[in-house]
Amino acid sequence: MARIITTADVTEAEASIAESQASSAHAVKAHHVKRAQRRSVSRKASRPKKEQSGSTGTKQNLVLQMLRRQSGASIDDIVDKTGWQPHSVRGFLSGVVRRKLNLPLVPEVGKDGVRRYHVASLKPAKA
């Protein structure tokens, strides 16, 4: 025997569907909020502390200090101190030191055959 579906049955079914969708949407929203809270807590905990003094402890400043030494620095010296790849050191010397900072970078080959770079002192302007 077939059951006859009335408009009341359809209305009741639609209301039931709407209620279940609303409760699942609330559950999904609550899940995302909890997940975002956990993520922000874990991200905050894993971040290294930044130094208060600004950018004085950066690798770039370390390299610039090495280049200002009278003996200068070789690419291998810079690789050892910073952990950069040799091609990254060459790119830094070319792109940042020479182009952006406009510093006079002088390469010199020593008696041992190692190329060392240093920043040449700027000649003071004559008055």
pLDDT along the chain (127 residues), means of 10: 75 80 71 70 58 66 93 94 95 94 93 93 61
Q: What is the pLDDT of residue 125?
A: 56
pTM: 0.52
What distance in Å separates the CA atoms of residue 119 and residue 83, rounded to the nearest whole number?
Answer: 21
Q: What is the pLDDT of residue 67?
A: 94
Count the Cβ atoms, other than its own, within 10 Å of residue 111: 5
What distance in Å separates the CA atoms of residue 55 and residue 46, rounded to the nearest whole number?
Answer: 20
Q: What is the pLDDT of residue 53?
A: 45
Q: What is the pLDDT of residue 3?
A: 74
Q: What is the pLDDT of residue 94?
A: 94
Residue 102 backbone class (left: φ over 0; alpha: ψ -120 to 50; beta: rest) = left
Which tokens hold the place of 49?
């502390």
Q: What is the pLDDT of residue 52?
A: 46
What distance in Å separates the CA atoms of residue 124 and residue 122, rounded to the nearest whole number?
Answer: 6
What distance in Å separates the CA atoms of residue 82 and residue 97, rounded to the nearest whole number?
Answer: 16
What distance in Å separates the CA atoms of residue 33 and residue 1, rounded to the nearest whole number?
Answer: 49
